[in-house]
A = this chain, B = another copy of it.
Amino acid sequence: MQLYPLKIVTVVGESVIMEDIAERGVELGATGYTMSEVIGHGSRSARNVGSTAGGAKTLKVEFVVPTDVATTILDEISHEYFEHYAIIAWLSDVSVMRGEQYTRKSGG
């Protein structure tokens, strides 16, 4: 059984922006994503992610990707969304079963 070192990019934010981010992630090289509903609560210095005050639904999106795609997605989020939206994004190390298929070949 083969395990392949990859990254998970996790992004949490308001649902309206997260559908955009999910699509952008795929355009930037992710082979797919999973999305789930969460309740977000931020206080003080951090952004208020998914405050229930406004009634906005909060979504978590995860991409299983190679390091270079992870960096590209985080760069995009940092530049295009971070200033204007309440978003948290992080990177984790994972070992993926038959993970070589998540390295999408360019030029397809």
Contact = CB atoms under 8 A, between A and B. Distances in A.
Interface in A1-39: 1, 3, 6, 8, 10, 12, 22, 26, 31-39
Contact of A40 (B6, B34, B58, B71): B34
A74 B36 contact: no
Copy total for this chain: 3
A69 interface: no
Contacts of A93: 92-93
Contact of A64 (B50, B74, B75, B88): B88
B32 A40 contact: yes
A91 B3 CA distance: 8
A84 interface: no
Interface in A33-84: 33-50, 58, 60, 64, 71, 74-75, 77-79, 82
A66 to B, nearest CB: 12
